[in-house]
Amino acid sequence: MSSSRTAPTAKKKPRRLTIVLAVLGLLVVIGVALAVYAYTQLSSARDDIDVATTSASELQTALESGDQPAAQTSLEQLQRSIGDADSTLSGAIFSVAAKLPVAGKNVKAARTVTSSLSTVADDGLPPLVEIADQFNGKTFNPAGGKIDVAAIAAIGPNVTTSARVIEAASADVDAIDASSLNGSLRGPVEDVQSKLAHAATVAQRATTASTVVPQMLTGKHRYLLIFQNNAEIRATGGLPGAYAVLDVNDGKISLGEQGSGASMGDLPYEATPISQEETDLFDTKLVSDFRDINFTPDFPRAAEIGTAILAREKNIDVDGVLSVDPVTLSYVLDGIGPITLDDGSTLTSSNAVDVLLNGVYVNYPEPDAQDAFFASATQKIFDKVLAGQGDPTALLKALTKATDERRVQVWTKDSAITDALGDSAVAGKLPTGTAADSSIGIYLNDATGAKMQYYLDYDISAKATRCTESGTQSFETTTTLTSSAPADSAQLPESIRGPGFGAEPGSMLLNYYVYAPDGGKVTALTIDGEDAAYPLTQDGRGVDLTTVQLDPGQTVTVKATISGKDGQRWATRLLATPSIKPGSESSVIRSAC
């Protein structure tokens, strides 16, 4: 992963776990419902929820162990308890109370919650319990370099049925205006809305996975695997510093050619046409240097450019692109255990990020030696995963966590697969159309060709501050960026400190992008209180670009004020560049309407 040139300055496998997580979100929701019943002061309903919570915990354990009989027993108890609670609130006295001018909306909300949970227990969970014995981690764990595609495809219908029920229940509960409820009821209902929405998202992810994975692994395919290096930050995560080719034959996966992004850098041509908007935002390097293809936050566009460069430079045609980062690899190592590299060093879950994003450049100053180190790490991890070594459950948790944090991204040339991926996190799409109406983006690109973002710590917060009568929301975002680089950073190896493009070696220069919701605009952008706005557009969507310099030890605060689309009253997603720290800067902004 040798250094890139300067950037422009401002002018799926986790089938079992994914399904289980969908169930877990629902089980937590059931516990939250206890607070709803406390509000109505119904001791019998409260007792039912207590029993349901216990049954939910037992059901979780049974599903995790693949114990179908135990799961069935727990489900039946859960159904009885939730059903009894729902019946209590569905009685005649509460039907009358629901029509009262003051208490009515609160009673209706409580009834909607219990009814939705009852529907999930009766119709959403049984399909999962039915295939509980197929949740065994070994079923989905690779063995002998091959993944059991048929086993994954077999769970698809049940998962899809369950997801539809969960999504419908989530929509019903989400329609409740929690802000208008009695104070003691508002919080519990908002918790139900949040957790059920999360469960619906995870359930949909499971449906997508059970559809996409068999399609991608059945037959013969070739994929490009990109390793993003977060130490040189890019909008989707990091510099595409290394790559590998994966050959697939009916579930059997083999590792082919490996290479560095630098081997396809500084090209004398544009691999694909580039729009004027893209040129203004990212420069033509976007389409003429493999290491810069993800200056754009739109992963499908980056993948399209990357495959075009690969075909021309290496004469390799691929069917799609997969991308991961060193943080993902650290999660994977937590599941498969440590690996010993060719140089005798040991790579573990606790040291992987430090070693892959910094240590390799300190210990191996020459680019060829760095590339050899990365190739060794890739091969060792790949071999261990495909051999089915380690803890299958932990590995699935690792991949699910990385996916949630937008560190794992997938794109293929197959339109059926891209349609199935939709706007999911793994698709990595820059939201368009109605999805862009409720989306704000904050993305970062290194502009110095250095690996100094190993020392970058940033935190992003956002809130909706106002809602007009027409439903136009106002938002404020605050990004605090801090350099933890040592004072003598200029003495670091050149592969870390960089060649000094745009800033002194050891300092960081970052291009900072704010994407407004489609139909909205960035109304102000400041750095430490000083105006720094440079308005542009992408596909008609308002974007503001500014450049931030961070010297060693310095902290800078970037604030943006954003107006949304007229009539967009609902919650808004904040999508952000993943950092080298575990966790995600992406979030959901609660509506101010």
**Least trusted range by pLDDT, from 196-210, 274-288, 360-374, 478-492:** 196-210
CA dihedral 362, 363, 368, 370 (to 10 degrees): -70
**Least trusted range by pLDDT, from 247-251, 389-393, 531-535:** 389-393
| Between 34 and 525, the higher pLDDT residue | 525
Domain ranges of the chain: 15-217, 433-589
For the record, the structure tokens of 191 come out as 């918790």
Q: Is residue 561 helix, strand or coil?
A: strand
- Tell me if 572 sits within 8 A of 501, measured CB to CB: no
Rounded CA separation 5/232 (Å): 11
How does strand 572-576 pair with strand 587-589?
antiparallel
**CA-closest candidate to residue 497, choices 432, 575, 551:** 551
Q: In this structure, what DSSP letter does residue 4 have?
A: P
For position 37, what pLDDT does the model report? 42
For position 49, what pLDDT does the model report? 60
Sign of CA dihedral 235, 236, 238, 243: negative
Report pLDDT digits (tens) over 328-374. 999 999 999 999 999 999 999 999 999 999 999 999 989 999 999 99
Residue ranges of the alpha helices (H) in 289-425? 299-314, 326-336, 352-354, 360-363, 367-386, 392-404, 415-421
What's the CATH code, domain 433-589? 2.60.40
For position 16, what pLDDT does the model report? 47
pLDDT over 90 (residue 247): yes
- Tell me if 74 sits within 8 A of 59, measured CB to CB: yes
Rounded CA separation 1/97 (Å): 66
For position 104, what pLDDT does the model report? 79
For position 139, what pLDDT does the model report? 64
For the record, the structure tokens of 369 come out as 């030696």
**CA-closest candidate to residue 558, choices 443, 437, 439:** 443
Report pLDDT digits (tens) over 94-138. 676 677 777 778 888 888 888 988 998 999 989 988 988 876 566
**CA-closest candidate to residue 358, choices 496, 497, 507, 243:** 496
Rounded CA separation 204/161 (Å): 10
Phi, psi of 471 (to 5 degrees): 90, 20
pLDDT over 90 (residue 35): no
pLDDT over 60 (residue 26): no
Rounded CA separation 527/500 (Å): 22
How does strand 409-412 pair with strand 555-563?
unpaired
Residues contacting 254, CB < 8 A, separation 6+: 145, 246, 247
pLDDT confidence tier of residue 36, bands split at 50, 70 and 90 = very low
For the record, the structure tokens of 364 come out as 């191996």
Q: Which H helix or E strand runs over 537?
A: strand 535-538
- Tell me if 218 sits within 8 A of 209, measured CB to CB: no
How many beta carbons lie within 10 A of that of residue 35, not counting itself?
A: 17
For position 46, what pLDDT does the model report? 57
**CA-closest candidate to residue 158, choices 180, 131, 136:** 131
Sort residue 414 into left (φ over 0), alpha (ψ -120 to 50) or beta. beta
CA angle 35, 461, 204 (to 5 degrees): 60
Q: Is residue 577 helix, strand or coil?
A: coil
In the block, which residue shows the tokens 């976007």?
286
For position 15, what pLDDT does the model report? 46
Rounded CA separation 374/162 (Å): 41
**CA-closest candidate to residue 259, choices 240, 273, 274:** 240
User: 114-139: b or e for each residue (b if 16 or more CB lie within 10 Å)?
Assistant: bbbbbbbbbbbbbbbbbbbebbbbeb
Rounded CA separation 147/133 (Å): 18
How many beta carbons lie within 10 A of that of residue 523, not counting itself?
A: 16
Q: By 3-state DSSP, what share of the chain in percent is helix, strand and coil, each rounded to 5?
A: 50, 20, 30
Residue type, 281: L
- Tell me if 541 sits within 8 A of 39, measured CB to CB: no
CA angle 73, 75, 77 (to 5 degrees): 75
Report pLDDT digits (tens) over 428-451. 999 988 888 899 999 999 999 999
User: 175-189: b or e for each residue (b if 16 or more CB lie within 10 Å)?
Assistant: ebebeebeeebbebb
**Least trusted range by pLDDT, from 70-84, 147-161, 174-188:** 174-188
- How confident is the prediction for the chain on average, in pLDDT? 88
- Tell me if 483 sits within 8 A of 456, measured CB to CB: yes
**CA-closest candidate to residue 59, choices 81, 76, 74:** 74
For position 138, what pLDDT does the model report? 65
Rounded CA separation 479/314 (Å): 40
Length of the chain counted residue by residue: 593
Point out which residues pair with 231 in neighbouring strands: none
pLDDT over 60 (residue 38): no
- Tell me if 48 sits within 8 A of 90, measured CB to CB: no
pLDDT over 50 (residue 170): yes
Q: What is the CA radius of gyration of the chain?
A: 25
| Between 45 and 18, the higher pLDDT residue | 45
Rounded CA separation 322/332 (Å): 15
- The Cα-based distances of 258 to 376, 452, 492 in angstroms read 10, 25, 28
Q: In this structure, what DSSP letter does residue 8 have?
A: P
